[in-house]
Chain A
Amino acid sequence: MHITQNTYTIHKLREIVVRASSRSKEGHIPSALSILEILWVIYDRVLKFDAKNSNNPARDRFILSKGHGSLGLYAVLIAKGLIEEADINHFCSFNSTLGGHPDRNKIPWVEASTGSLGHGLPIAVGISLGLKIQNLTSRVFTVIGDGECNEGTIWESALLASHHKLDNLCCIVDYNHSTDRALHMGNLIDKFRSFGWNALGVDGHDQDELFRLFNRFPEKKGVPTVLIAETVKGHGISSMENQPAWHHKSPSEEEINVLIKEIYEKA
């Protein structure tokens, strides 16, 4: 089997996620794995930033609105050299900078502290508007979950973003179907379109397809963009995919070796 540079990295990122959760007995693995390719493409190929200065005003912004996927974000920040790999060994420990949800006052590369669902998108809308007010051309990316789309503030913000013509905003919905068992969100492409967004569907695990769509952004002047990314919770580890039992469970010593093996068996 031919393993490309990127595929190798994705496997390594999955391993970082799983090992950190196993070590700490904390973290939401499936929710981190469903967004891993999205985050990796954004940080590796799309986001413009200055690795020497996290506060460079010209940087693009990324906000993980579904903050419980923090392990995925940390793995990507490690891979980009923006946080120390050793820090993940202390994930969720008392003095750790890396917690179950990301904290902007502890990690310079985190734009917004999230955790309570429905906060990141309104913040991203505010940043997008603030950049426009100041004639800055940076772009804003945010990842929300389908469960998070239950929150009223998502739809309030969707109205605000289109009304204020925030074409510098790209929201990615991690449609991993976690909310199917509670409140079904139905066709999110149609819903966002009816709210005035440029809405596109994508396989959220297809890195090249994600990159192709990010490259088109911003494609419509005066219109915010949303990618409805079809994803699988626990993607990349066959025994974890779509298994609700794993939502907030951490692997034991015995389980970890099986999971790591599965990670590297996956193409």
Chain B
Amino acid sequence: MKKPNMRQQFTSTLSELMIVDERLTILLGDIGVFGFRQVFSDYPTRIYNIGILEQSSVGLASGLAMTGLIPVVHTIAPFLVERCYEQLKLDFGYQKLGGNFISVGASYDYAALGCSHHCPGDVGILKNIPGMSIIVPGTAKEFDILFKESYNNGKPNYYRLSENSNNSDQDVNFGKGSVIKAGNKATLIVVGPMLQPVLEASADLDVNILYYTTIYPFDHDLLQSIILNDEKVVIIEPYYSGSITVDIINSLENKNVKICHIGVPREFLTNYGTKSEHDISLGLDSLSIRKKLLNFINK
């Protein structure tokens, strides 16, 4: 059987949890409605196609949280994060309320729709909200595990669903990084769905591969224990390059490291086409990544 993609998994994970947790209440921003038709029929008071008014949907969600419910808000990344930044910041972050924000579209999954639907800035922006969890799953199964582990933790949690997905599921834990492979020449810190092209690019390379699916809370201990002084470090992220560099540097305290960044550049991507075409054009496909790795490691 074909594995579900992250969006399909989101629907089945939530459909499953709706049965066992009567506090869960879903607000859809007029997307993904058909997939939830059974939930609409079974729990008509706990799922809403709320409409295309993202700011008030997030505000409303915080009101739901105040009555003891656990809201889940779902829409396309730029509308959920950038349009509602202040609602996320004040209505959830500052007020210390729990809620779940699940985006689709990632950096440029909607390549053909243009910049209005791109969101490579989401992780960097949300890191400005103290206490906001940021989760970037690499596979559908990983979303399922991470969501179930965190959705009822009483905090605002952001889950970044993407079309890109790794071929294999890793053992993931909320708030923890993991070691995928050990090596000597450099340490690669890889976030979510970048693991697939990185594994393809580095199969024969003598490198550490550390895998992160939770960006906040950031697992500082793992980096501190693995990375040595004078080491070469490559940060490979599926959103704006450099979004987590500060967290990494803060983890390393007195160690000197040389850092190479691979991620989405800070520019408007005004081409259309497909997500894969953008990956190649931005040097985020496995061949381009391999070239960058070899160049950096052998320098």
Write the residues of chain A forming the contact surface with B, with a CB cutoff of 8 angstroms: 57, 104-105, 111-113, 115-116, 118-119, 121-134, 136, 152-153, 156-157, 159-160, 163-164
Interface Cβ pair total, 8 Å cutoff: 100
Given contacts A123-B62, A127-B66, A160-B56, contact A133 B90 (CB under 8 A): no
| Set B64, B86, B94, B95: member contacting A129, Cβ < 8 A | B64
Closest to A157 in B: B56
Q: Mark B29-64, 1 if CB is under 8 A from A, else 0.
A: 000000000000000011010110101101111111
Residues of A within 8 A of B94 (CB): 113
Beta-carbon contact of B53 and A159 below 8 Å:
yes
Beta-carbon contact of B53 and A112 below 8 Å:
no
Q: Mark B46-88, 1 if CB is under 8 A from A, else 0.
A: 1010110101101111111111110100000000000000110
Q: 13 more A-B contacts (CB under 8 A) besides A126-B60, A130-B66?
A: A104-B95, A115-B90, A119-B59, A119-B87, A122-B58, A126-B62, A126-B63, A128-B63, A133-B46, A153-B53, A153-B55, A159-B51, A164-B48
Beta-carbon contact of A130 and B59 below 8 Å:
no
Residues of A within 8 A of B53 (CB): 153, 156, 159-160
Interface of A is mostly: helix
Beta-carbon contact of A127 and B63 below 8 Å:
yes
Beta-carbon contact of B60 and A160 below 8 Å:
yes
Alpha-carbon separation in the docked complex, A124 to B62 (Å): 9
Alpha-carbon separation in the docked complex, A152 to B52 (Å): 13
| Set B45, B51, B60, B86: member contacting A116, Cβ < 8 A | B86
Given contacts A104-B95, A157-B59, A157-B60, contact A112 B66 (CB under 8 A): yes
> Could you pull out 27 A-B pairs where Cβ atoms are within 8 angstroms?
A57-B68, A112-B62, A113-B90, A119-B59, A119-B86, A119-B90, A119-B91, A121-B59, A122-B55, A122-B63, A123-B62, A124-B63, A126-B61, A126-B64, A126-B66, A127-B63, A130-B68, A133-B25, A152-B55, A153-B56, A156-B56, A157-B60, A159-B51, A160-B51, A160-B53, A160-B56, A160-B60
Closest 4 CB pairs of A and B: A126-B63, A122-B59, A130-B67, A156-B56
Residues of A within 8 A of B96 (CB): 105
Beta-carbon contact of B66 and A133 below 8 Å:
no
Closest to A140 in B: B63
Q: How far is the CB of A164 from chain B (nearest CB, A)?
A: 8
Residues of B within 8 A of A153 (CB): 53, 55-56, 59
Alpha-carbon separation in the docked complex, A32 to B89 (Å): 26
Closest to B94 in A: A113
Closest to B58 in A: A122
Beta-carbon contact of B69 and A130 below 8 Å:
yes
Residues of A within 8 A of B48 (CB): 164
Closest to A132 in B: B45
Q: How far is the CB of B61 from chain A (nearest CB, A)?
A: 6
| Set B51, B63, B68: member contacting A123, Cβ < 8 A | B63
Residues of B within 8 A of A133 (CB): 25, 45-46, 64, 67, 69
Residues of B within 8 A of A116 (CB): 86, 90
Residues of A within 8 A of B25 (CB): 130, 133
Alpha-carbon separation in the docked complex, A125 to B25 (Å): 15
| Set A105, A123, A128, A136: member contacting B59, Cβ < 8 A | A123
Alpha-carbon separation in the docked complex, A105 to B130 (Å): 15
Closest to A63 in B: B63
